[in-house]
Structure 1
Amino acid sequence: MTAKTRSHWKEYGTAFCATLITATAGTCYGWPSPTLPYLKSKESDIKTSADEASWIVSIMILCSALTPIPSAYFADRFGRKTCLLLGAIPFIIGWVLVIVAKSVSVLYVARMFSGLGYGIVYTVAPMYTGEIATNEVRGALSTLITLMNKVGILAQYCIGPFVSMRTLAAINLILPISFVITFIFVPESPYYYLKFERSERAERSLRHLRSGDIRLELKNIEVSVQEDMKNKGTWSDLIREATNRKALWITLGVFTIQQLCGSAAVVAYAQDIFSVTGSKIEDYKESIILGCVQVATCCLSVVLVDRLGRKPLLVLSSLGVGLMNGTIGTYFYFYAQNKEDVEHLHWLPITAILIYIVCYAIGLSTVPYVIIGEMFPTNVKLYASCVAHIYTGISMFTVQKLFQVVKDAWGIYTVFWGFSLFSMLGLMFMLIVLPETKGKSFACIQAQLRRDVAKDNARKLITVEY
C-alpha cells in the first residue's frame, strides 16, 4: 500500500468518526416518519393532532437556525473539534426528553434541543471535513456528511415500526454517546492551529492524518492560511468583498434548490405520503425501501463527486427530481379525482419517489455541503457556513410546516407540482451560474471566482456604455 493510499484511508477514518454526529442528526430528521402515525393513532398515550404533528416535525429545523452564529464563533475561537463535541450534548438531552415525555409540549422541547444540535453540526462539520482532506478526496469526504445522515434516517425507518417510541429514542441515544467516545481521539484541523500560529500542533495533526512526507503540504496550508488571514474576516466581508458575495449568492442558490425540491417533506412525512398512494405494499416497508435507496445512492455519490464533478451531478439531480415531482403530483391529482381510474398504476408513486430519491441523493443531497466547504476563504468560511445554515433552517422549516397546510387546503398534488416548478427553476440556475470546483485547491477556486467577478463587471460596463 502506497503512502498516498494510506493517507486517504486515514482521512476516511477520521471523517467517519467526525460524521457519526451527522448520523445522529439523521436519526432526529427521520424519527417523525415512523413515530407520527403512532402519535396520531388511538393507541397513543400522547394524543397528537395533525397540526401538533406538523410542529413536532418542523420545530427542530426552526431551532437549528438559532445555533449557527454562536457555533461559528465558538469553532473559530476554541476549535472545530471542541465545537462538534459540544454539539452532541443537545442531541443527548433531546433523546432523554423523548424517553420521559408524557405530553406534546415535552416532545416540542425535545425537538428544540435536537434542532440546536442540528444547527451546530451542519455549521461546523462541513468545515472540519473540508480542512482535514486532500484535494483528491475532499469532495468524497464532504459527501460522507450526507451519507451518514441518510444512514441515521434509514435506521429510523427500519427500527421505528417495530419498537415503541421510547425504545427507539433509547436506541438513538447510543449514537451521540458513541461519537463523543470516539471523536475525543481525533485530531483538530491543522488549518485551525495555523490560524493561531500553533505550528507544532498543526504538524502533529497533519502527521496523524497523512502518511509520508508532510512538509510540503504543511507549508502550502500555512501559506494559504496566511494569505486568507492578511485581512481578518468579518461578517461584513461576506457582502463587501465581491468574490465572497458571488460565492454566497451561489451557495444560497444551491441550498434554496435543495430545500424547495421538497426533500425535507418527503423524508419526514414518508409514511404519511405512502399511506395515500393506493400502493399494495405496507407503508413502513415502502419507507424502508426508500431509506435503503437513499443510502445506496449516497454511496454512489461519494464515488462520483470527485470523478464527474459537482456541477454535472447537481444538474442531473435537479432535472430528475423536477420530473419525478411532476409525475407524483399528476398521479395524486387523478387519484383525488377518481382513484379507480389509476388503481392499476398503484406502482407508479413508489417508483417515482424512489427515482426521486436516487436523483436527489446523487447531487442535491450531498454536493451543497461540498460547495460550502470549498467556495470561501478560511477567514470567512465559518461566517458563510453560518449564514447558509440559518437560511437553510428557515427554508426547511417552511417546507415542512407548509407541506401539511397546503396538502390540507389544496391537495397533496399541489405540493408536488410546486416542488417540480422550483426544481426546474433550480436546473436553470445550475446551468447558468454554478462553477465547477472538482479537483481544485482552495486558492484555485478563489482565483476562478475573481476571474468570474471581473467578467461580470466587464459585461456590466459594456452594457452601461451601450
Structure 2
Amino acid sequence: MAWSPATVPILQEEDSPVPLTPDQGSWIVSINSLTGLAAILTTAYAADVFGRKMLMLVGAVPALIWWLMVAFASSYEVLITARAIGSLTGGFIGGATTMFVCEIADIEIRGTLMAFHGIFMYGGSLLMYCIVPYLPISTVAFSCMSIPVIFLVTFVWMPKSPYFYLLQNRESEAVKSLVRYKGELTPEELQFELETMYKAIRQKQETKGKWKDTFLLSNSVASAPIGSLLTGEVFHVSVKAICLTLYSTVTALYGFVLKKLFQVVSDGLGAYYSFWAFSFMCFVCAVYMYKLLPETRGKTFAQINDDMEYITGGHVDDDNKDSVKTASG
C-alpha cells in the first residue's frame, strides 16, 4: 500500500529510472484498488469452498510476482501491470485473514490478535517510507519479496480453522485443529468449543440474513484499524462472507476514487478541501458506529449474532435474550 506513494515522487524526478508523468503516477497509486476487485469478488465463494488458509496462501503468490516485476521494471507499462497483479494479494488475503484470525482465536484475545494485524500492516507502511528514499527501487523490491516467501514456507504448515472443517462436516479434523491452536483441552472444554461453532453454523444454515443488515453494517464499519475486527465479528453468519466481500469492495472503490482524485481536487480547489472531507467522513462514521454497533468483547459468534438480531429487530434465542438486552443497553 505504501510503496507507490513513497516511490512515485522519486519516479517523477528528472533522473528517474522509469520516468512518469503526473497522470501516470496517479494511476500507479490508485490502480490497485480497482484491479483488486477481481480477487475481492471471489473471496465470499472461495473462502467457504477452499478454506481461509488456502485463500491466504494463494494470495501471497501475486505479491511475489509484483515485487519481481518491480525489481526489473523499465517502463510505465511494466509497473502498472505489476501493480495490478500485486493488488490480487490484498483482495484474497484481506477478507480471508479477518475470518481466519477471528475463527481460531480465543474470545479473550480475539481483539488483541486483530490489533496486531493492524500494527503489522501499518508497520509495513512505515518501513516503506523509511527505506524507499534511501535505497534503489530494485533493492526495496527484493527486500520486500522475502516477506511473502517467509509467509509461504511457514504458514503452509498451519492447520485450517476448525470452523471451516465443521462447515465441511469433518469433525475429527476440526478437533485436531482446535487442539493445535488452543492446546490440550478437557472433554468439557472441547465440547463447549464444538457446540459454540455448531450453533453458529446452524444459524448460518437455518437463518436467512437480511439485506438490511448487510447494507446498514457495511456502512466503509470500515473504520481502520478496528474495522478489520468488526467485519469478522458483527456480521450475521448467514451473510458474513458476502458482507466481507461488500466491505472490501466498497473500501477498494473508495480507495480508488480518493487516490485518483486527491491530486486533482488539491490542485484545483486546494488540499484543505480534501482533508475537510476526510474529517467529515470520520465524524459521521464515529456517530454511526456509536449508535448501531454492540460490544463484542468476550462474546462468542453466536452471542454476537443474537445481539445484532436484537438491534435490527430480528429473532433472539431465548437463552441469550436477557444477556443481549443488557449488552445492548
Question: Which whole-Å CA distance do the structure 2 matches of 1:422 and 1:104 have between them?
Answer: 34
What corresponds to 1:205 in structure 2?
177
What corresponds to 1:38 in structure 2?
10
Correspondences of 1:98-137 after superposition (within 5 Å): 98-137=70-109
* Counterpart selection for 2:115 from 128, 132, 143: 143
* Counterpart selection for 2:209 from 194, 216, 241: 241
- Residue identity opposite 1:30 in structure 2: A
CA deviation after TM superposition for structure 1 residue 241, in Å: 2.8
What corresponds to 1:178 in structure 2?
150
Question: Which whole-Å CA distance do the structure 1 matches of 2:188 and 2:160 have between them?
Answer: 19
1:250-303 CA distance string (max 9 Å, x none): 233522xx3xxxxxxxxxxxxxxxxxxxxxxxxxxxxxxxxxxxxxxxxxxxxx
CA contact (8 A) 2:214 2:239 kept: no
Query: Gapped runs of 5+ residues in structure 2?
Result: 316-329
* Counterpart selection for 2:187 from 210, 215, 220: 215
CA contact (8 A) 1:94 1:110 kept: yes
Question: Which whole-Å CA distance do the structure 2 matches of 1:127 and 1:248 have between them?
Answer: 19
Structure number with the higher helix fraction is 1
Of 413-422 and 217-226, deviating more is: 217-226
What corresponds to 1:60 in structure 2?
32
Q: Determine if the alignment matches structure 1 residue 385 to structure 2 residue 244.
A: yes
CA deviation after TM superposition for structure 1 residue 217, in Å: 4.2
CA contact (8 A) 1:195 1:225 kept: no
Is the partner of 2:154 in helix, strand or coil?
Answer: helix
1:342-395 CA distance string (max 9 Å, x none): xxxxxxxxxxxxxxxxxxxxxxx2211111111134443222211110111111
Question: Which whole-Å CA distance do the structure 1 matches of 2:44 and 2:120 have between them?
Answer: 22
CA contact (8 A) 2:57 2:152 kept: yes
CA contact (8 A) 1:63 1:112 kept: yes
CA contact (8 A) 2:209 2:238 kept: no
Question: Which whole-Å CA distance do the structure 2 matches of 1:233 and 1:153 have between them?
Answer: 40
- Residue identity opposite 1:385 in structure 2: L
TM-score (norm 2): 0.89
- Residue identity opposite 2:302 in structure 1: A
What corresponds to 1:90 in structure 2?
62
Is the partner of 2:297 in helix, strand or coil?
Answer: coil
Q: CA 1:394–1:228 in 2, change beyond 3 Å: closer, same or farther?
A: same
Of 370-379 and 116-125, deviating more is: 370-379
Question: Which whole-Å CA distance do the structure 2 matches of 1:105 and 1:217 have between them?
Answer: 56
Correspondences of 1:353-372 after superposition (within 5 Å): 365-372=224-231
What corresponds to 2:327 in structure 1?
none
What corresponds to 1:451 in structure 2?
310
* Counterpart selection for 1:75 from 44, 47, 54: 47
Correspondences of 1:435-446 after superposition (within 5 Å): 435-446=294-305
What corresponds to 2:285 in structure 1?
426
- Residue identity opposite 1:148 in structure 2: F
Question: Which whole-Å CA distance do the structure 1 matches of 2:53 and 2:261 have between them?
Answer: 36
TM-score (norm 1): 0.64
CA contact (8 A) 1:127 1:381 kept: no
CA contact (8 A) 2:265 2:274 kept: yes
How many residue pairs get matched?
315
* Counterpart selection for 1:397 from 236, 256, 263: 256
Question: Which whole-Å CA distance do the structure 2 matches of 1:104 and 1:218 have between them?
Answer: 55
CA contact (8 A) 2:220 2:250 kept: no
Is the partner of 1:135 in helix, strand or coil?
Answer: coil
1:387-441 CA distance string (max 9 Å, x none): 1101111111111111111011111111111112222222321232222212211
Q: Determine if the alignment matches structure 1 residue 406 to structure 2 residue 255.
A: no
Q: Determine if the alignment matches structure 1 residue 251 to structure 2 residue 251.
A: no
CA deviation after TM superposition for structure 1 residue 47, in Å: 1.2
What corresponds to 2:322 in structure 1?
none
Q: CA 1:222–1:380 in 2, change beyond 3 Å: closer, same or farther?
A: farther
> What RMSD, in angstroms, separates the aligned Cα atoms of the two structures?
2.1
Is the partner of 1:105 in helix, strand or coil?
Answer: helix
Structure scoring higher RCO (CA < 8 A, sep ≥ 6) equals 1
CA contact (8 A) 1:64 1:116 kept: yes
Question: Which whole-Å CA distance do the structure 2 matches of 1:108 and 1:35 have between them?
Answer: 13
What corresponds to 1:376 in structure 2?
235
Q: CA 1:400–1:394 in 2, change beyond 3 Å: closer, same or farther?
A: same
Question: Which whole-Å CA distance do the structure 2 matches of 1:217 and 1:94 have between them?
Answer: 44
Is the partner of 1:454 in helix, strand or coil?
Answer: coil
